[in-house]
Amino acid sequence: MTDTTPAEARIDTPGRPVAQQFKALGWYVLLTVLALIILYPLYMSLMRALSDPAAYARAGNPPWPVEAEWDVFSKAWNGGNLSAATFWSFAMSAVITITQVVTAVLSAYAFVFLRFPFKRLLFVLFVATLMLPLEVTFVANSLTIRQLDWIDTLQGLTAPFLASALGTFLLRQGFLGIPKELREAAFLDGYGHIRFMTRIAVPLTAPVVASVGLLAFLSSWNQYLWPRVVTEQENHQTLQIALRRLGAANVQQINVGVAGAVLAALPIFALLILFQRAIVRGLTAGAVKG
C-alpha cells in the first residue's frame, strides 16, 4: 500500500481530542470486526484442521481446537503425496515466472525502444490474447499437448504461459516512464540496445519487473484448470489438483483436506506479506491508469 495521506483522516482532525480518540476507537472496532469476518473461513478451517474430526463435530464446531492433533499437517503431506505435488507446483511456477519475465521484458522493450514496421498491428495481436481466456483455448491446447506427447511433463504444464500480454503491457508502461533524455544520453555514451536494456532500462523498472514476476508466480501457483487437463498420473499433479483429491474425497478426513489447503496457500501468503506492495501495484496498474 502506498504512503498517501488520506485526506478523509486529516480533515476529520479538528475537534476536541477526546472526541477524536473515540472516533479512532470506533474505526478500530469496525476494522477489527471486518478483519475477523474476512479471516473467519481461514481461522475456522485451521481450528478444524487441528482437531480430531469426530470430537470437533461432537463439540459443535467451536472456534478453538478440540483434541488437537498436531500431526494433521504431516498426515496431509504424506497421505496426499503433497511432496510430489509441491515439487511440481514450484517447478511449474518457477519456470513460468522466469520465462514470462524474460519474454515480457524483450517484447516490451521492442514495443517501446525499437522502430519496426507493423508495430501497432503486432501490439493489437498481443492484446487480443487477453481476450482469449484459457477457458476458451484449453481444449485445443490440450490436444496440442497430447500430440506433442507432453502430458505429465513440465513443458506441458508451462508451455502456454511462457509469454504474457499482461506482463508485456505492464512493462511497456514502465519503460515508457524512462525519460527520453536518458535513452539519448545512453546512446551518445555508446550503449547499444542490449546494454541499455540490461544496464539501465531493466534496473530502472525493477519494481515493475518484480510485479510482473510475482503476478506470474501467484497466478501459476493457483492455476487449476490447465494442470488438471494436462496431468494424469497422481504423482505429476500440482498442489491445487492434489487438494481436490485430498479435500473432496473423504468427508471423514475433512481435517486432512483443510490442512492440505492451508499448506498449499502458505507460500502465496508468505509472498503476499513480503511483497504486498509489488503485487498490489501489478494488480491495480490497469485499473488506476485507466
Partner 1 sequence: MSTVKFDQVSKRFGKTTAVDSMSLNINEGEFMVLLGPSGCGKSTALRMIAGLESISDGTLSIDGEVVNHVDPRERGIAMVFQSYALYPNLTVRRNIESPLKAKDVPPDDGGPPRRLNAEERNARVNEAAAMLDLEPYLDRKPGALSGGQRQRVALARAIVARARVLLMDEPLSNLDAKLRAQTRAELIDLHERLGGTVVYVTHDQIEAMTMADRVAIMAAGALHQVGTPEDVYDRPANTFVAGFIGTPPMNLMDGIATSGGVKVAGATLTAAHDLADGAKVTVGLRPEHLSVADEGLALAVRAVEWLGYESLITADIVEVTDGAAQPSARNADDGEAPTSLVGDAPIDTNDPEAVGATRRRVILRADGRVSARNGEVIRAAAQPSSVHLFDADTGVHL
Partner 2 sequence: MSGLLPDDEDTTASPGGRKQLRLFGYDLRETGMAAAFLAPSLVVFSVFFYFPFARLISWGFYESRQRGSSYENVGFSHFGDVLTSSDFLDGLWISVQFVLLTVPAGLILGTLLAVAAHRRLKGIKIYQTIFSSTIATSVAVAAVLFFGLINPAVGVFKVDWLSNPSTALPALALVAIWKNLGLSFVIVLAGLQAVPDELTEAATIDGYGAVGRFFKVTLPSLKSVLTFLVVALTIFGMQEFALPDIITGGSPEGSTETLVYKIADNLNPTNITTGSVMVVGLFLITLVVGLTQFTLLERGMRND
Q: Name the minimum Å distance from CB 180 to partner 1.
A: 9
**For residues 179 and 113, what is the distance between their CA atoms, to the nearest angstrom?**
12
Of 272, 288, 247, 284, nearest to 85 (Cα)?
247
Encoded one letter per residue, x for contact with partner 2 by CB under 8 A and - for no contact, window 63-92 reads ------------------------------
Instruction: Report the residue number, 77 or 111, with the smaller CB distance to partner 2.
Output: 111
Alpha helix stretches (DSSP H) within the chain: 7-11, 17-50, 53-58, 72-79, 82-113, 119-131, 134-147, 154-158, 165-176, 180-189, 193-195, 202-204, 206-221, 225-230, 239-249, 254-274, 276-289
187 binds partner 1 (CB under 8 A): yes
How many residues make contact with partner 1 (CB under 8 A)? 17
Give the DSSP letter of residue 224. Answer: -
Half-sphere exposure of 211 (CA within 13 A, CB side): 24
Which of 181, 233, 273, 290 lies at the binding interface for partner 1 (CB under 8 A)? 181
94-123 residues near partner 2, rule: CB under 8 A: 102-104, 106-107, 109-117, 119-120, 122-123
Q: Which of residues 202-221 bind partner 2 (CB under 8 A)?
A: 218, 221
Does residue number 143 form part of the binding site for partner 1 (CB under 8 A)? no
The cell 503476478 sits on which residue? 215
Q: Which is nearer to partner 2, 5 or 233 (CB)?
A: 5
User: Which of partner 2, partner 1, none has residue 31 at its interface (CB below 5 to 8 Å by kind)?
Assistant: partner 2
Does residue 183 interact with partner 2 by CB under 8 A? yes
Q: Mark residues 191-210: x for contact with partner 1 by CB under 8 A, - for none.
A: xx--x---xx--xx------
* Single-letter amino acid, residue 81: N
Contact 246, 200 (CB under 8 A): no
Partner from partner 2, partner 1, none binding residue 35, C-beta < 5-8 Å depending on class: partner 2
Interface residue with partner 1 among 17, 60, 179, 290 (CB under 8 A) is 179
Question: With CB cut-offs between 5 and 8 Å by kind, which of partner 2, partner 1, none does residue 203 bind?
Answer: partner 1
CA distance readout (Å), 138 to 114, 188, 229, 235, 252: 33, 48, 8, 22, 34
The one among 185, 248, 249, 266 contacting partner 1 by CB under 8 A: 185
CA 38/CA 183 separation, integer angstroms: 47
Residues forming the site for partner 1 (CB under 8 A): 179, 181-182, 184-192, 195, 199-200, 203-204
